[in-house]
Structure 1
Amino acid sequence: MRFVVTIFTVFLLFSCEKKTEIEFSSVKITPVFIDSLSIRAIQPLDENKVWFAADKGKVGLIDGDTPKLAVIKYGDSLLHFRSIAATKDAVFVLSIANPAVLYKIGFNGSEATNIEEVYTEKGDDVFYDSMKFWNENEGIAIGDPVENCMSVIITRDGGNTWKKISCENLPKVEKGEAAFAASNSNIAIFGKNAWVATGGRKSRVMHTSDKGKTWEIFDTPIVQGKAMTGIYSIDFLDENNGIIFGGNWEDKPFNEGNKAITKDGGKTWKLIANGKEPGYRSSVKFVPGTEGQRIVAVGSPGISFSGDGGKNWKELSKEGFFAIEFVNDSVAFASGNNRISKLVFKE
């Protein structure tokens, strides 16, 4: 199927010593890109460069003050992107809904060099949610169930080809169980592991310890039972310690059963700050280099921070975002409605 690309040349957290008196006291939020878009997938390269994928077919690289943008059409249709991942030489974007189309965009370090369609899937129930890479060659993307399992596609050749895993080799989902394409963060990667968060009428965590060859699934105490309840985001510090965050999108202040941690690789989960702020959040991240003590969670209600591994939280800003990705221990990019911002956290 043909496609058209139009280029616009407009183109938290203790220290390593765990000094309990040091916390983030504030965050400086600086918009770096403003457009009439819903941006739910970002991939920073450094403190000045960030890739994004959005609705209306738009993808781009924000390079300092210079946005380098492209609009991707599939036939006559504008695609809507909510998944993004990058390797050294390429960035990958994957559209939601039917058809799901995955593009590989060549990258020379400063500009896109070419774009090619590397995977297409058609069907009434097709809807992909997120994408990550283990290394330069192996990557994974997750989508809602088409049959009786989550949709899982894998690449082993640097993203040139992708293959869908048969439901015979995946855990069975329950009726009404799917995933949320809210922030490109319902997959977490560490080593050979991948963890996938589900939500809806059942909210669980799928796990593979061998890069997608075999799978298991674990129950969680996260709120579930309705179409918009469950885990919206998952992150892992190492092969044992992880966090899940979500809630009820239709009742965002509700703060019971919406955040939990694991210390055994996802087998068991324990609720944290239960019945305490914050409520619904769509993206959660351990702050790099802080040994799992500093955590930031963002959502449309605002930015929340924990300096003690999730036990206690405070609000840093009421400015809402869909997704957050850290560059280092104090700088991150966040995306939301109509904008991407650089976040600088201050102690």
Structure 2
Amino acid sequence: MITGLLCAAALTAATAVPAGAHTPERRVPHWELRDSGTPDVRFRGLAAVSRKVAWVSGTGGTVLRTVDGGASWRNVSPPGTAELQFRDIEAFDARRAVVLAIGEGEASRVYRTEDGGATWTEAFRNTDARAFYDCMTFFDGRHGLAMSDPVDGRFRILSTRDGGRSWKVLPDTGMPPALAGEAGFAASGQCLVSAGPRDVWMATGGGAHARVLHSADRGLTWRAAEAPIPAGDPARGVFALAFRDRAHGLAVGGDYRPDQTSPRAAAHTPDGGRTWRSAATAPPAYRSGVTWLPHSRTAALAVGPTGTDLTTDGGRTWRTVDSGSYDTVDCTPDLGCWAAGEQGRIARLEH
């Protein structure tokens, strides 16, 4: 079986071949679009289960599911949600998934299905007009968290212990104060991520500094660290995180406005997010999604509206390998890497 690292090396080699040089014919890993049949939907939520099974969520209350590698997609949207924006989806398998709608007040909701989307249950509806939920993550099949922008000066954390069937707001006594203007970005479902049974990280922007907050006790207490990605504006900061274990993590972001540059749009950490280092060669533009390639300690992909970038050295350097527009990306242990974005775009990495 080709490993994720070999997959990444093949991508790197493909981009390094001089123009006109003769090379043996071979199939280089690349994004291959899968027809979703929904050209008017922007998919910012993605849950890759395997090379065969994936879920996406997006605008217009839309949820799609495939069980055949993207050859066909079934619209399994919860009824009565056409006015909602689904920005994050977490799936446990082909039948069980939890989807988060974002927005102020009651627009922030959580729905859950146990039958592949045939039926849905509304598990949470936000009743605090000051709260705005952005992202969620699960440690396992039972324990998960969702995050809201600051309420009363601190980020709000929602917790479930039963697989998303019920939720409760955690005390904020262990949450450090938010910076003025600080918030999360509901751009890819990756502003709140976990690794292992208890560790979770939150990405922020909008304040004077971009920050990454870490909790080692499932969201009860948090420690904040500055990330060297530009902030100081509501459109700038860390948009997505990925941790391959509780120590090694990646952060990507920048300025999401297309007319603004995004220098230093990536960073990496070797110590669980206590310290962050700028990439020596960063992606050339804003990136909203990032994922480690499976079975690799050094290879990862970052995506955004202007392209896909690859690192093979743990986030120190990045190079663009595709120019297609994607908002979010996710990989599975069986080498099922998926990406999704605007105009109904969904793709799988083919070898």
TM-score (norm: length of structure 2): 0.86
Corresponding residue for residue 138 of structure 1: 143
| Greater displacement, 244-253 / 157-166 | 244-253
Query: Mind listing any 5+ residue stretches in structure 1 that lack a counterpart?
Result: 1-11
| Code of the aligned partner of 1:265 | G
Q: Label 1:66 to 1:207 Cα distance change in 2 as closer, same or farther (>3 A).
A: same
CA distance in 2, matches of 1:303, 1:241: 21
Are the counterparts in 2 of residues 73 and 79 from structure 1 also a CA contact under 8 Å?
A: no
Corresponding residue for residue 173 of structure 2: 168
Are the counterparts in 1 of residues 76 and 117 from structure 2 also a CA contact under 8 Å?
A: no
Query: Mind listing any 5+ residue stretches in structure 2 that lack a counterpart?
Result: 15-28
Corresponding residue for residue 122 of structure 1: 127
Aligned partner of 2:227 among 200, 220, 227 = 220
CA distance in 2, matches of 1:49, 1:329: 11
Corresponding residue for residue 4 of structure 1: none
Q: Alpha-carbon deviation of 1:70?
A: 3.3
Corresponding residue for residue 9 of structure 1: none
CA distance in 1, matches of 2:168, 2:283: 41
| Code of the aligned partner of 1:212 | G
Q: Alpha-carbon deviation of 1:308?
A: 2.0
CA distance in 1, matches of 2:172, 2:150: 10
CA distance in 2, matches of 1:185, 1:305: 18
Are the counterparts in 2 of residues 104 and 116 from structure 1 also a CA contact under 8 Å?
A: yes
CA distance in 2, matches of 1:70, 1:222: 37
Q: Secondary structure at the match of 1:312?
A: coil
Higher strand share: 1
Q: Label 1:252 to 1:313 Cα distance change in 2 as closer, same or farther (>3 A).
A: farther
Q: Label 1:298 to 1:170 Cα distance change in 2 as closer, same or farther (>3 A).
A: same
Corresponding residue for residue 3 of structure 1: none
| Code of the aligned partner of 1:162 | W
Corresponding residue for residue 240 of structure 2: 233
Post-superposition CA distance 1:176-233 (Å, at most 9, x none): 0001000001122111100111111231111111112222211222101001100010
Q: Alpha-carbon deviation of 1:259?
A: 1.0
Are the counterparts in 2 of residues 242 and 262 from structure 1 also a CA contact under 8 Å?
A: yes
Are the counterparts in 2 of residues 14 and 308 from structure 1 also a CA contact under 8 Å?
A: no
Are the counterparts in 1 of residues 138 and 144 from structure 2 also a CA contact under 8 Å?
A: yes
TM-score (norm: length of structure 1): 0.87
CA distance in 1, matches of 2:279, 2:342: 29
CA distance in 1, matches of 2:253, 2:9: 27
Corresponding residue for residue 87 of structure 2: 82
Corresponding residue for residue 46 of structure 1: 50
Q: Label 1:177 to 1:289 Cα distance change in 2 as closer, same or farther (>3 A).
A: same
CA distance in 2, matches of 1:63, 1:90: 13
Corresponding residue for residue 23 of structure 2: none
Q: Secondary structure at the match of 1:153?
A: strand
Q: Label 1:20 to 1:304 Cα distance change in 2 as closer, same or farther (>3 A).
A: closer
Corresponding residue for residue 112 of structure 1: 117
Structure 2 matches for 1:151-162, cutoff 5 A?
Answer: 151-162=156-167
Q: Alpha-carbon deviation of 1:247?
A: 0.7
| Code of the aligned partner of 1:250 | R
Corresponding residue for residue 288 of structure 1: 294
Are the counterparts in 2 of residues 324 and 332 from structure 1 also a CA contact under 8 Å?
A: yes
| Code of the aligned partner of 2:113 | I
Aligned length, in residue pairs: 327
Are the counterparts in 2 of residues 198 and 230 from structure 1 also a CA contact under 8 Å?
A: yes
Post-superposition CA distance 1:84-121 (Å, at most 9, x none): 112356211111113111111113xxx33531111111
CA distance in 2, matches of 1:228, 1:148: 20
**C-alpha RMSD of matched pairs (Å):** 2.4
Q: Secondary structure at the match of 1:278?
A: coil
| Code of the aligned partner of 2:49 | L
